[in-house]
Structure 1
Amino acid sequence: MTAKILRSAEGRSTVIAVGVAAALTGVLAGCGQSGTSTASRPAASTPAKATTRVASTAGSGTDSTLHMITNQGHKLAFHVTPGHLPAIVLDAGGGLDSSYWKKIVPALAKKTGAEIITYDRAGMGASDEVPGPWKVQNAVSDLEAGLTNLGATHDVILVSHSEAGEIATYFTRRHPDQIAGAVLVDASLPQFSTDTEIARVAAATQAQVTAIQALKPKSVTKADRQLLAVAADFVADQRAYHKMTWPAGVPATVIVSSQTPFPTSAPDAQAWRTAQAQFAKAAPNRQLVTAAHSSHDIPLDRPDIVEAQIEAMVKTTG
């Protein structure tokens, strides 16, 4: 599951765990998106419309270009920092946008020389909001459309934080030949979404969901709407995610924070660490790295570790 920090209109932050849909509220602070149900959106194979290119203003990279890509009727903002292929794709957690990586992108581009791609998921940053429950399949469709449009169709290094771990899992299962390797940064993993943790997260977020629903429309923020979208089908989505497995042929490095998304809940923190370790031990081409002195926001607290592991993955996958 994934946790994330969603800030309400009143400025409060709540740490919570989230599973498949990644992130109902919390630390994963960066894992919520809104999306329509799979029944209401066309299949992911529907071609994305042509890209509109404009100067980037999101701060995801000083030399990046903003590409507005249309998928299933809504526009998505993809930021591309030029470099050689294969590309490195950075996906922030729930409730976060491409600017989350603004300090890492320039350093990573300089060290690797690779093309760097960041993007705003539906409802975040410069991307359009899409009404309805959050569905990982819709998020995967959006990422597919963006990478296909940008020509990042093989040997991609996928870097996923928090809720984005769920998207990475489904995307990589769907396109194992497109992903050369992944760096999962305190990411939502299937092993965490047990019935026990799903119930605990759902219960922990209910009060916040109720409070948001009671707000006047003008007071509801993007992050609030993302939380409501994820909460809508959270239990069923997380149970489905728990059954997912990562493709054995795709190497992955798991970076777990020392605090985890649950710094005030020992049982949940231990469940998070256990899930990360179980994932890493499931195949010989995976490794577990602990980011000492770090909150769930490892990319902000320990960018050196994230950059080093990405560089290592680039060299390993060659």
Structure 2
Amino acid sequence: MSVATEDRPFHIAAPATSKTAQPTARDKGSRGLRILLRAAAVSVGAIPVVAALGATYEAISGSQDLSFYPPAGRHVDVGGYRIHLDCRGEGSPTVVMDAGLGGSSLDWNLVRAELTTTTQVCTYDRAGMGWSDESPLPRTPGHIADELHILLLNAGIPGPFVLVGHSLAGKNIRMFAATHPDDVAGMVLVDARSELVDSLTPKAEADAFSTALGMQGGLYGVARHLGVARMFGASLASAPLLSPAEAEEMVLLQTQASAIDETTSEGLARAADDAALANTSLGSRPLVVIAAAASMAEIPNWPAAQHKMAALSTRGRLVVAEHSGHAVQLEDPAIVSKAIDDVVALVRADD
């Protein structure tokens, strides 16, 4: 309506029926420029309206999230705050999965489905992520490992466990093994970050990563507040093997305020326990290290780090996911399921 009203004077100023006042090329250019400028002004003026509509949509829809997206598992108190734990299937050893930076228990949906027919599989949300409460403790791998240990203990889940960690969570489960070795029977590291990569990362690059984390948090917050994350969630997830509903739920969990804060805090503290990790060993526990081919080709020192982690156990081996990017559990879940099955079989054979 406003655009049409704004256009009308231009048509009146140069009637098409006049044979003596035909517009020149310069007149046409000026007229076109004025139309574009006025249209742009109207568009800019509409931004607050669109933003208000988006924020209203998000506020109304967000108030119903717990009804539409209830937690699949249960909440367990770990010392004044609760962690969401979802255990399915039966059998031992229990497989416990920890998602990468910014991820939730939903990250393992495609992998878990293949495993619960043969053993118990537990996924969980780190504090602040998914359906878990925020934690007052620093978000270092060591503190996260201790929270996981308390969670499993308070939930009554018996060990020893086969631990599975993606990306930065690889450090979490390695710290778990370092501090609670008797509770670890085997391990699968999925394109996991290593202290070796951290030690060889130039300071300027590390600083740029920290800056990018803050910027990402700000963008996620705006996208969530304006309803963009909700409206386009499925297309933003970059997880084509998930259903649209699962992809949308994943994005909504990742862009909630507590998850943004947790992701930033974990990312900034990612190297806090590197000195301790450098001296760890898994002895003879079964270990499979899965490396994404894309990471091996694109990230400096990633191949050396993956080989070094495979050598953490005398029964460790490296498997390359040839057709996958970093999120192997979402892009090639079969290779992750197979690795976990192999480790579970070896643990059972040891018993």
Give me the TM-score of the superposition, normalised by structure 1: 0.70
| SS of corresponding position for 1:84 | coil
Give the 5 Å matches for 1:221-236.
221-234=257-270
- Bigger Rg, which one: 2
Q: Equivalent residue for 1:272?
A: 302
1:58-114 Cα shifts (integer Å, max 9, x gaps): 46xxxxxx221111211000001130222111111111111111122222112xx21
Contact 1:184 1:254 in 2 (8 A): yes
User: Any idea what the Cα deviations from partners look like across 1:253-300, whole Å, max 9, x if unmatched?
Assistant: 10000112x87xx4xx13112100122135431000000110111001
SS of the aligned residue for 1:108 comes to coil
CA deviations on 1:199-226 (whole Å, 9 max, x unpaired) are: 5233233244267579989958444312
Q: Is 1:196–2:193 an aligned residue pair? A: no
Match in the other structure for 2:60: none
Residues 1:285 and 2:315 are matched in the alignment: yes
Aligned-pair identity (%): 28
Q: Per the alignment, do residues 242 and 180 of structure 1 end up closer, same or farther by CA in structure 2, a change over 3 Å counting?
A: closer
Aligned counterpart, 1:155: 160
Cα distance between partner residues in 1 of 2:220 and 2:332: 36
Runs of 5+ consecutive residues of structure 2 not aligned to the other structure: 1-68, 226-255
Point out the structure with the larger helix share: 2
CA distance in structure 2 between the aligned counterparts of 1:278 and 1:253, rounded to whole angstroms: 12
Contact 1:255 1:290 in 2 (8 A): yes
Residue 255 (1) aligns with residue 255 (2): no
Alignment of 1:13-162 (within 5 A): 57-58=70-71, 66-110=73-117, 113-131=118-136, 133-162=138-167
- The 8 Å contact of residues 192 and 242 in structure 1, kept in 2 or not, is answered as no
Quick one: which amino acid aligns to residue 285 of structure 2? V
Letter in 1 for 2:122: I
Pairs within 5 Å for 1:201-220: 201-209=206-214, 212=217
Pairwise CA RMSD of aligned residues? 2.8
Change (3 A) 1:101 1:245: same
Aligned to 2:280: 245
Q: Hey, which bits of structure 1, 4+ residues long, moved more than 4 A?
A: 56-59, 210-220, 231-235
Conserved in 1, the CA contact under 8 Å of 2:82 and 2:133? yes
TM-score w.r.t. the length of structure 2 is 0.63
Post-superposition offset of 1:241: 5.0
Give the Cα–Cα distance (whole angstroms) in 2 for the partners of residues 182 and 206 of structure 1: 32
Higher RCO (C-alpha 8 Å, min separation 6): 1
Between Structure 1 and Structure 2, how many residues are aligned? 249
The corresponding residue for 2:334 is 304
SS in 1 for 2:135: coil
Q: Is the 8 A contact 1:256 1:276 kept in 2?
A: yes
Q: Shift in Å at residue 193 of structure 1?
A: 2.1
Structure with more strand by fraction: 1
